[in-house]
Structure 1
Amino acid sequence: MYHIRSLHVTVLVIVIAFSGQPRAAAQDVWSLERCINYALDNNIMIRQQELNTQVSENALLQARMNRLPSLNANTQQSFNYGRTLDFATNIYEDQNTRSFSYNASSQVTLFNGFQVTNTIRQNDLNLMAALADLERLQNDISLNIASAYLQILFNKELLSIARSQLEITRQQVDRTRRLVEAGSLPRGNLLEIEAQEASDNLRVVNANNQLVLSYLTLTQLLELPSPDDFVIEVPDFDGVPVITPQYEVDPVFEAALETQPQIRSAEYELASSEAGLSIAKGRRSPRLFLSGSYGSGYQEIVTGPWADREADSFEDQIRNNQRTTFSLGLSIPIFNAWQVNTAISNAQIGVINAGYSMQRTKNELFQRIQQAYADVVAAHENFLATEKALTSIEESFRHMEQRFEVGMVTTVEFNQALNQLGNTRSDLLRAKYEYIFKTNILEFYMGNPITL
């Protein structure tokens, strides 16, 4: 087990657990957990996916309701001129009439090749896929938030290293200026160390710009109006261990197949396409249905041969003209311009394509796990090598600084040693953050929560 050694500047490392307290009570400090929860509650893409899930829920509900009979009613008031059917004689006469009728009808499908059942199953699978897609989107946003949060911490430390290096250079500028004024050193030495000061100051400016941009990136992911007054929680750890990676690609991949929502989504979509094929095949089956209707009507002759005839009252006609119908029907598809066969062929293609999509999703997941594992191993090795190098470089720089103060080394040599020290510190910090982040990604693929 290895730990980051003490540097000339305070090096903070990535968050493993958020137990630290806010730096100032007056500031509204955002922890990683708060950032993730806020994004999950307010991100527009998540809200849109939630709406898509509601659409899938409605489709499933409708598919279930399709098992029920239909029931419809209608009424009609008519005015007829010319030859019309006389309700009393059931003979067409040249006469003008006005009539009123109403009707109620119902129909239920008894069998249609299990299309209703398979449609319910398909929509249920579509809903499961939509929920898995929602979870996948939430995971992606959580990872993006964690990455942006990490980048802020990393850039904070780069800025601290740059400022520390600038402070060392400024001290040497002051010392060299006094020696030049005393005549102990030529003016060229002062110009060289001042050039190094300008270079270090530029490094501070660039590091600060990167920090500002990383804050902007995180607040944009959170969809906050402005990064102004936005402060993240920085945990204070003495050191976080960088140990030999305890993972293997295959076990992580096997765990990811069970836990990752994109795999479940692909499996649901494959099953849904198979249900769609069953629906298409069901169109070859005869359809058996039961229907019924009830109605009545009233007619009054306004002009015509029977206009003077005393008509039955409205109530009598409604009662006497009642009609009720029940029917059992069978519809047999014989030939419909090859539509059924085309639908079956397209559904079979859809099943094959869904199988390819699922395999592609698994391949992409495996590749990401492979890459994360390789990154962890590389970061671990880089950290060990850089940590060892930094120990030597720090010791060498202390001797270089002492020799520079007594004029035994040139300003150019001192500047080169100072730059090497700053670069090595940055490399150590970068390897540390890379190791922790990629390790947490592997943990995430194994089904563990993100705890940067």
Structure 2
Amino acid sequence: MKRKTIVTVFFTLTALLLSGGKAEGQQQETLARSSSPTARYAAEETGLPAAAPWTLQECIRYAQENNIEIQRQELSIEDAELARKQTRLNYIPSVSASVGSGTSFGRVLDPTTYEFRENSSNTDLSASLSLGTEVFAGMRKYLQLKKSDLALQDMLLQVDKARNDLSLNITAAYLDVLFAEEKVTIASQRTRTLTLQVEQTQMLVESGRKTMGDLLQLQADLADAQFQDIEAKNNRTLAYFTLCQLLEIDDYETFRILIPESMPVSRDGVAVGPGEIYEMAQELPQVKSAGLAMDMADRDISIAKSGLYPTLSLSAGYGSSFSNGRQKPDINNPATYIQYPFKDQIRDNASYHISLSLSIPIFNSLSARNNVKSYRIARHRAEYDYMIMQKNLNKEIRQAYIDAVGAYEQYEAAAKNVTTTEEAFRMLEEKYNLGAASPVDYSIALYNLVNARSQLAQAKYSYLFKTKILDFYRGIPIML
């Protein structure tokens, strides 16, 4: 009676510990879903609950915010914005000012009489303010402004393409980690199965129902299973390392991803045909960027043509000067001269000008016309690049669709193989336990089962990734 009470208390405490651990796990999962990845890492450093596994969406978002290549390309956006701003500032007239001063010694020019004086000195000061602008230059400023708008749009599309490529790479690495986790599970199951079988066979050998050769065969198989188990765990570590490299995270040893409870595999991923997917893919940034390249080439042609037109320029200016050698008659005594005041000289010496100039290109070694021809060649090149891009895009989509259909058929075949292999192993295991099968037969059956499960896992994740590629072409956000 006392022993029964002790057992009851033991299982009660165990149940309480398990329930507490489950509640804590749910609390950490809630924290993981309600906070950003960086916040959860900061919480871990401050002593709060440990960082929870990352979802695929969190990995993609974090990578897009912290990837060095993305940040490097975003600097090009700033350059394009500055260039666009400058094309608008070019409409503002240019203003310049100049000030000069000098002193002459010896034989100097008298600014009053315009005669030279011997053994004298003279200090003068001059200042001017000028304004100039192009009134007409073949609409060059307007065309440059429109091209800068297109260049900024193209740079934004280039960064979007880089983000999309990074998302695909993150998805591939994430699925590789899931596949590696499942391989570890499969290898561990084989190890546990052989461990139990070795223990059972050990007892049968001691009772004389099995031979030592049977035990040695199973022990050899167990050693091989342990080797495969270690290899699977190493591959999992490498998969995490690859994913963390894309995320710009150094601590790959403690980093973990959230393993979905279920990832259903259905033919819905290939329900849309390649032709329809190709039409949807026209919204991809690389497609729009190729179209903008032709538009920018058209602008370049127009800008080059502006060099064939006359240029009309407007300029205006103001200037004045002062000299300490300049004198004027004294009002009270006209026979004598006094120093000409600075303020009066600046006012009296002031001058203004305004002018229009027309520059007509007559002959410049045909450079302007050759520039137009060169940009027309570039326009044809951009058009061919667009056609090649569309051709490659269609090829990539059709190839991805064919791969996805093939992967789904492989998954179906692998699923059937697992079902039959599991049943075959169950029957063989019963025979082995009854002594009607050898350890070699048991090991072969177990190996076939492990291999079938591995093929099923590989086919599943291969199909999932290929369907994510099709979703990417369709403009559907990547998620599991």
**TM-score in same-fold range (> 0.5):** yes
**1:5 aligned residue:** none
Shift in alpha-carbon separation, 1:90–1:273, aligned structure 2, 3 A? farther
Determine if the alignment matches structure 1 residue 27 to structure 2 residue 27: no
Are 2:407 and 2:463, in contact at CA under 8 Å, matched by a contact in 1?
yes
Instruction: List per-residue Cα deviations over 1:342-366 (Å, max 9, x = no partner).
Output: 4223322322222233233323322
Aligned to 1:65: 89
Structure 2 residue runs of 5 or longer lacking an equivalent are 1-25, 32-48, 327-335
- The structure 2 residue matched to 1:116, chosen from 113, 135, 141, is 141
Contact map agreement 1:193 1:411 (CA 8 A) in 2: yes
The change in CA–CA distance for 1:135 and 1:89 in structure 2 (over 3 A counts) is farther
Distance in 2 separating the partners of 1:356 and 1:286: 34
1:347 aligns with 2:371: no
Q: Residue 383 and residue 54 in structure 1: after superposition, are their counterparts in 2 closer, same or farther (change >3 A)?
A: same
Give the Cα separation in 2 of the matches to 1:96 and 1:336: 49
Which residue does 2:132 correspond to in 1? 107
1:450 correspondence with 2:475:
no
Distance 1:52 1:372 in 2: 32
Distance 2:396 2:172 in 1: 16
Please give the secondary structure, in 2, of the residue aligned with 1:288.
strand
Q: 1 CA distance for matches of 2:410 and 2:27?
A: 32
The separation in 2 between residues aligned to 1:274 and 1:226, in whole angstroms, is 50
Q: Which runs of 5+ in 1 are unaligned?
A: 1-19, 303-307
More helix by share: 2
> Conserved in 2, the CA contact under 8 Å of 1:273 and 1:351?
yes
Corresponding residue for 2:424?
Answer: 396
- 1:285 aligned residue: 309
Once the two structures are superposed, residues 225-274 of structure 1 have per-residue CA deviations (whole angstroms, 9 ceiling, x without a partner) of 2113222222212x6142262021111011111x2111111211221122
- The 8 Å contact of residues 276 and 347 in structure 1, kept in 2 or not, is answered as yes
Q: Is the 8 A contact 2:112 2:325 kept in 1?
A: no
What's the counterpart of residue 360 of structure 2? Answer: 332
Who is 2:60 aligned against?
A: 36
Shift of 1:22: 5.1
Partners of 1:435 and 1:249 in 2: how far apart? Answer: 16
1:394-422 Cα offsets, whole Å, 9 max, x none, are 11111111112223222222212111111
Q: Does the Cα contact within 8 Å between 2:298 and 2:379 map onto a contact in 1?
A: yes
**TM-score between the two structures when normalised by the length of structure 1:** 0.88
Deviation at 1:162, TM superposition (A): 0.8
Q: Does 1:197 align with 2:222?
A: yes
Q: Structure 1 45/398 Cα, relative in aligned 2: closer, same or farther at 3 Å? A: same
Aligned to 1:6: none
The aligned residue for residue 17 of structure 1 is none
Check 1:90–1:440 CA distance in 2 against 1; reply closer, same or farther (3 A cut): farther
| Partner residue, 1:316 | 344
Deviation, 1:24, is: 8.6
Aligned residue in 2 for 1:364:
392
**Alignment map for 1:112-261 (pairs within 5 Å):** 112-237=137-262, 240-243=264-267, 245-257=270-282, 259-261=283-285
Secondary structure, aligned partner of 1:153:
helix
Q: What letter is aligned with 1:406? A: L
Q: How much does 1:301 deviate?
A: 2.9
CA distance in 1, matches of 2:392, 2:398: 10
Q: How far apart in 1 are the matches of 2:166 and 2:108?
A: 71
Task: Give the residue type in structure 1 aligned to 2:343.
Answer: E
Cα gap change, 1:418 to 1:21, in 2 (>3 Å): farther
Whole-angstrom CA distance in 1 between matches of 2:63 and 2:441: 50
State how far apart, in whole Å, the 2-side matches of 1:146 and 1:23 are.
21
Task: Kindly report which structure 2 residues correspond to 1:48-87, keeping only aligned pairs within 5 A, or say none.
Answer: 48-81=72-105, 86-87=110-111
The one-character-per-residue Cα deviations of 1:308-359 (angstroms, maximum 9, x if unpaired) are 9644211111111111010000111223344323422332232222223323
- DSSP-derived class of the 2:123 partner: strand
Aligned partner of 1:203: which letter? Q
Deviation at 1:180, TM superposition (A): 2.8
- Report the Cα offset of residue 96 of structure 1: 4.0
Q: Tell me the alpha carbon deviations over residues 1-54 of structure 1, each in whole angstroms, 9 at most, x when there is no partner.
A: xxxxxxxxxxxxxxxxxxx98559633122222222211222222222221101
**Secondary structure of the structure 1 residue equivalent to 2:248:** coil
Q: Which shows bigger deviation, 264-273 or 356-365?
A: 356-365
| Counterpart-to-counterpart distance in 1, 2:104 and 2:363 | 41
Q: Note if contact 1:166-1:200 (Cα within 8 Å) is conserved in structure 2.
A: yes
Aligned pair in 2 of structure 1 residues 64, 415: CA closer, same or farther (>3 Å)?
A: same
Whose RCO is larger (CA < 8 A, sep 6+)? 1
Asked if 2 retains the 8 angstrom alpha-carbon contact of 1:242 and 1:435, the reply is no
Q: Which amino acid aligns with 1:198?
A: A
Alignment pair present for 1:426 and 2:454 = yes
Q: Does the 8 Å CA contact 1:101/1:296 hold for their aligned counterparts?
A: yes
What is the TM-score when the length of structure 2 is the normalising length? Answer: 0.83
The answer as to whether partners of 2:93 and 2:132 remain within 8 angstroms in 1 is yes
SS of the residue corresponding to residue 297 of structure 1 reads strand
Aligned to 1:79, the other structure's residue is in SS state strand
CA contact (8 A) 1:22 1:233 kept: no
1:344-391 CA-partner distances (Å, limit 9, x unpaired): 233223222222332333233223222221121011101111111211
Partners in 1 of 2:219 and 2:129 — Cα distance? Answer: 97
Aligned partner of residue 408 in structure 1, secondary structure: coil
Residues 375 and 434 in structure 1, CA contact (< 8 A), matched pair in contact too: no
Q: Quick one: distance in 2 between partners of 1:353 and 1:85?
A: 66
- Number of equivalences: 426
TM-aligned CA deviation for residue 207 of structure 1: 0.9
Letter of the 1:139 counterpart: N
Deviation at 1:423, TM superposition (A): 0.9
Share of identical aligned residues, percent?
Answer: 35
Retained in 2: the 8 A contact 1:27–1:231? no
Please give the alpha-carbon distance, in whole angstroms, between the structure 2 residues aligned to 1:74 and 1:378: 77
Between stretches 308-317 and 430-439, larger displacement belongs to 308-317
Q: Deviations over 1:264-320 (max 9, x none)?
A: 112112211221121111111111011011010001239xxxxx9644211111111
